[in-house]
Each structure stands twice: as structure tokens, then as C-alpha cells.
Amino acid sequence: MPEGDTVFLAGHRMHEALAGKMLRRGELRHPRLAALDLSGLDVLGVRTYGKHMFTRFSDGNSLRSHFRMDGSWHLYRPGERWRRPAHQARAVFEVDDRQAIGFALHDLEFLPTADEDRLISHLGPDLLAAGFDAAEAVQRLTADPSRAIGLALLDQRIMAGVGNLYRAEVCFLLRVLPTAPVSSVDASRAVALSRKLLQANQWRPEQRTTGDLRAQHYVFERTGKPCLRCGTRVRSDEIEGRFVYFCPQCQSD
């Protein structure tokens, strides 16, 4: 699952490549949107919020896309070979000097730009927003003190942008198991760590959370490997169908 910083960086690159330019080709390969032809429209810009991306057009509408588990936007030069199969393309945008291809995108929706905020009104504060409201995120996080912190961190209604990677790393840095109740955690620190990790990686194509040359991450996808702190083998388990990673020595309930 892409994290909020992945979507942020993709949105920034899309904005740099397309903003202020006219679409020579604008196809949406989705059953509900296939009849739309966006060619001839100017791209006004690209905005992201959490894991949602909005591409804005000169007709007053926006395309909302969500990466879900395997979606992505790629940028290509004209004539450059695509790195994913053509049958996975859900959006094809072309300007004079670039192609933007959306692969395996989910929740595609074409809507008035004025309705963007309504569509995401259920989400918590965006961790990468300049005006991020930490107090509101803490309030939302602590609203259900008995809930497992590992589930709460993934809940985009609490704060938008955390995925499975940062869920694992934040729990490790808090020294708690993902199954620990929110009440056992310093909620302010959990929010601050989440924001810090996303901000540290928002301009990087590959996320790194450790600052250690031995490994990119403390526990994420390191099952069976030694913990960077204590040497105990990192373990993995499932919570509601999603893998969690943890050090049984460094983390506790």
C-alpha cells in the first residue's frame, strides 16, 4: 500500500509535468468514465490529500484517483516504453513533452473541483499539509482508547497518510506492539512521529526510516532478520488481514 508521501511525490511530479499545459490526449479507461474525452482541456494543477490525488482541469472539474494497493502514476517522454502493461492503464494524459499514465488506479471519480473538500471531509488531518492540525489528530486518535494502536494508525479518518510501512515503524519507535491499546501510548508522540517520518521521506523515491546503512527500515518487511537495536529476530503477524512487523524484545503491550 503506497504511503501518503508516495502520493505526495507523485502529485508533485505530475504537477511539474502537466500544470499549465493543454492535453493533446485525455483518456479515462474506466467503465463509468470511458465516454469522457479530456483532450483540449488545460491542466490547472495537481493536489494531494493523504492518499488521494486530484488533477484539476480548466473546465472546472477534477479527476480524483486513489492508489489503493498497487496503483501508480508514471511519467514518460513521448515514445518511451511503458514500464507496466498497457491493459493496466486507467488514465492516459498526454501533453506536448510528457505522458502521464495512471496504472491500476482505484476510485476514479470525475467531479467539480469545488466538491473536492466534500469528498475528503471524512478524513483526518493530512500529515503532509502545511497547516497540519496535530491537536485534532491527537483528539481523533484518543477517541477510542481501547482500540489497537496498529489499527488506529491505519485509519485515515484519524490522520491521513499512514500506510503499513509507517504503521510498523511508528509502533517500533514507540516501543509498543501493534496490538497495544491506544491508551498505553503517548498519543502526541505517535502523531509527531507519523508526521516526522512522512516529512523526512516526502521528496525521496525510496523511503528510509532508520538512518542506518544496514537497513532501510527497523522492522517493516524484515521478518526473521535481527532487530537493529537488540538483535532479536523480527517477527510478523496479521491484524485484520494485514501483516504487522515487530521486535518481540523491544516492543511490548
Among this protein's residues, is 242 annotated catalytic? yes
Mean pLDDT for 19-45 is 97
Q: How confident is the model at residue 214 (pLDDT cuts 50, 70, 90)?
A: confident
Residue 2 has what pLDDT? 84
pLDDT at 106 over 90: no
Q: How many residues can be counted in the chain?
A: 253
Residue 212 has what pLDDT? 80
Contact assessment for residue 145 and residue 182, using Cβ atoms and an 8 Å cutoff: yes
Rounded Cα gap, residues 232 and 104, in angstroms: 38
Among this protein's residues, is 248 annotated catalytic? no
Q: Could you tell me which residues come within 8 angstroms of residue 227 by beta carbon, excluding any fewer than 6 positions away?
A: 218, 219, 233, 234, 247, 249, 250
Cell of 209: 526510516
Rounded Cα gap, residues 190 and 162, in angstroms: 11
pTM, full prediction? 0.93
**Cβ atoms within 10 Å of 169's Cβ, excluding its own:** 22
**Cβ atoms within 10 Å of 73's Cβ, excluding its own:** 23
Q: What phi and psi, each to the nearest 5 degrees, are found at residue 49?
A: -145, 115
Q: What domains appear along the chain, each with residue ranges and CATH number?
A: 4-119 (3.20.190.10), 134-246 (1.10.8.50)
Mean pLDDT for 6-20 is 98
Tens digits of per-residue pLDDT, 171-206? 999 999 999 999 999 999 999 999 999 999 999 989
pLDDT at 5 over 80: yes
Rounded Cα gap, residues 5 and 11, in angstroms: 10
What DSSP assignment string belongs to 154-183? T-TTTSBT--HHHHHHHHHHHTB-TTSBGG
Mean pLDDT for 80-89 is 96
- From the candidates 13, 189, 196, 242, give the one annotated as an active-site residue: 242
- From the candidates 51, 56, 64, 222, give the one annotated as an active-site residue: 51
Rounded Cα gap, residues 147 and 132, in angstroms: 23
Rounded Cα gap, residues 30 and 224, in angstroms: 41
Among this protein's residues, is 3 annotated catalytic? yes
Tens digits of per-residue pLDDT, 121-130? 999 999 999 9
Rounded Cα gap, residues 214 and 218, in angstroms: 10
Mean pLDDT for 99-109 is 94
User: Residue 96 burial (CB < 10 Å; 0-12/13-18/19+)?
Assistant: exposed
Contact assessment for residue 32 and residue 111, using Cβ atoms and an 8 Å cutoff: no
Distance from the first to the final alpha carbon of the chain? 26
Cell of 82: 511503458
Residue 69 has what pLDDT? 84
Residue 28 has what pLDDT? 97
